[in-house]
Amino acid sequence: MKTRHKRLAIIVTGVVGLTVAGLFVLNAFRSNLVFFYSPTEVLEGKVSIPAGKTIRIGGLVEKGSVQRSSDGLKVDFIVTDLNKKLPVHYEGILPDLFREGQGVVAQGRLQTGNTFIASEVLAKHDEKYMPPEAAQALKGGTFAPGSEIKKP
């Protein structure tokens, strides 16, 4: 085999190898994608969700809807986008910021009967949140890490 043919074979093999590796990466990326929906989108059927597909829903925890079991690990609550309501069941420890009226993102699967079984719950703080030290510094105080906040 001539040197030119060997070089061409190596290049073709490299291109095929890179293409196969790229396809594996894209397939893994696509299978791990988790889409985010509002309760209205889910309940009105605006999106087609395959059975057993993991999705994320987001909205506010409706006031008065949180029901905890006696062991404290099973929680039922309602997520609303102020238009539609979607009941959520979760087993596990909730984040510290979780409370009624607060924003929440739940990841899990939609069951028949429009009940969402969450495998993970993430609580969101409002966008106005700022650490106390930073808020104090912006109000005119000075702050050095490890020290008390002092007013000028």
* Same domain flag for 50 and 119: yes
Residue 44 φ/ψ, nearest 5 degrees: -85, 0
The pLDDT of residue 136 = 58
Q: Which of 69, 56, 70, 49 is nearest to 124 (CA)?
A: 56
The tokens for 5 are: 């043919």
Dihedral sign of CA atoms 99, 102, 108, 110 in order: positive
Is 60 contained in some domain? yes
What total of structural domains would you count in the chain? 2
Q: What pTM, to 2 d.p., does this model score?
A: 0.65
Q: Can you give the residue range of the structural domain that contains 16?
A: 1-33
* Same domain flag for 56 and 94: yes
Is 134 contained in some domain? no
Is 152 contained in some domain? no
* Same domain flag for 26 and 53: no
Half-sphere exposure of 143 (CA within 13 A, CB side): 13
pLDDT beyond 70 at 97: yes
Is 147 contained in some domain? no
Average pLDDT over residues 72-76: 88
- pLDDT band with cut points at 50, 70 and 90 for residue 81: confident
CA distance 108 to 91: 11
CA distance 66 to 117: 15
